[in-house]
């Protein structure tokens, strides 16, 4: 299974990449009178004032187009890694759900239930008793559960993250951003849940949300896990209240 989008493997991003390549090729190609007329329609040569405007102006226009083409080629080459699509692992699979009434919460619970070693949660609003209870059950069966959550959205007297902290689950809160808006979970370093779904009762029963759970995607999971670790390292421990 591979990720698909408006980009090709050569690093050219959709129609804009095609336009840039065509301009670059036109500028670097030998200039016949017809070719000059065609390329001038895209990139007119600058006008020069003086008696030597004729051929010198034409040569100057060719030089400017060549420089432009080289710059475009350099930019495309430098940006190609960021623009190119990365294939997913062989054997990758996914579950997709929506809410309300589209199985979104059930997919998250399935990911928690099947986790064997670790569950790393990044959460914005976390008030779902159902998901908190499932995480606590995973913690009790020996899975390493860790949660990092938005400080402002979870500052109430009693929330799901305070419940988890009180049960001995490691929890940290992050106040370094205007909004800590993440909603993702990494399971066992190889499965990833993401989407718009906040871990809340409203997300499950009232809101229009989506949940995507990707199975057997270790390369993708590693990128999410690196970002999760960065957020965890900069966050503050939430101490148990009893």
- Which residues have CB under 8 Å from 98's CB, separation 6+? 104, 208, 209, 210, 211
Candidates 206, 212, 203; CA nearest to 111 is 212
pLDDT at res. 170: 97
Task: Give dist(CA 144, CA 136) in Å, integer.
Answer: 10
pLDDT at res. 10: 42
Catalytic, 182? Answer no
pLDDT at res. 140: 98
- Active-site residue identified among 181, 182, 233, 239: 181
Task: Give dist(CA 203, CA 238) in Å, integer.
Answer: 24
Could you tell me if 80 and 194 are in contact, meaning their C-beta atoms sit under 8 angstroms apart? no
- Active-site residue identified among 139, 188, 233, 237: 188
pLDDT at res. 224: 98
φ/ψ region of 95 (left if φ > 0, alpha if ψ in -120 to 50, else beta) reads beta
pLDDT at res. 74: 67
- Active-site residue identified among 31, 139, 182, 183: 183
3-state secondary structure of 72: helix
pLDDT along the chain (242 residues), means of 10: 41 48 47 43 44 56 75 66 75 96 95 98 93 98 96 81 95 92 97 95 93 97 97 93 76
Candidates 113, 97, 101; CA nearest to 211 is 97
- Biggest CA pair distance of the chain: 90
Whole-structure pTM value: 0.67
CA distances from 44 to 10, 20, 23, 50, 94 (A): 28, 16, 12, 18, 51
Q: Which position has the token pair 């938005």?
A: 150
Catalytic, 140? Answer no
3-state secondary structure of 204: helix
pLDDT at res. 83: 58
Could you tell me if 124 and 180 are in contact, meaning their C-beta atoms sit under 8 angstroms apart? yes
Catalytic, 188? Answer yes
Task: Give dist(CA 49, CA 26) in Å, integer.
Answer: 26
Task: Residue 153: count other Cβ atoms within 10 Å of its Cβ.
Answer: 20
């Amino acid at each position: 299974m591979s990720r698909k989008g408006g980009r090709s493997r050569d690093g050219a991003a959709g129609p804009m990449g095609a336009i840039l390549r065509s301009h670059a090729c036109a500028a670097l190609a030998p200039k016949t009178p017809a070719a000059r007329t065609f390329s001038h329609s895209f990139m007119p040569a600058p006008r020069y004032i003086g008696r030597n405007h004729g051929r010198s102006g034409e040569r100057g226009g060719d030089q400017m187009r060549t420089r432009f083409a080289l710059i475009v080629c350099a930019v495309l080459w430098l940006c190609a890694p960021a623009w190119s699509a990365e294939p997913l692992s062989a054997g990758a699979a996914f579950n997709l759900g929506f809410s309300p009434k589209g199985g979104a919460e059930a997919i998250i619970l399935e990911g928690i239930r099947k986790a064997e070693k670790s569950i790393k949660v990044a959460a914005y609003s976390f008030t779902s008793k159902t998901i908190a209870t499932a995480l606590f059950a995973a913690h009790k069966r020996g899975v390493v559960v860790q949660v990092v959550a938005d400080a402002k959205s979870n500052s109430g007297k009693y929330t799901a993250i305070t419940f988890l902290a009180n049960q001995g689950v490691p929890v940290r809160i992050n106040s370094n951003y205007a909004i800590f808006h993440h909603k993702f979970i990494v399971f066992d370093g190889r499965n990833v849940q993401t989407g718009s779904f906040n871990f809340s009762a409203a997300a499950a029963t009232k809101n229009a949300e989506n949940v995507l759970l990707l199975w057997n995607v270790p390369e993708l999971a590693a990128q999410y896990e690196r970002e999760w670790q960065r957020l965890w390292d900069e966050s503050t421990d939430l101490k148990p209240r009893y």
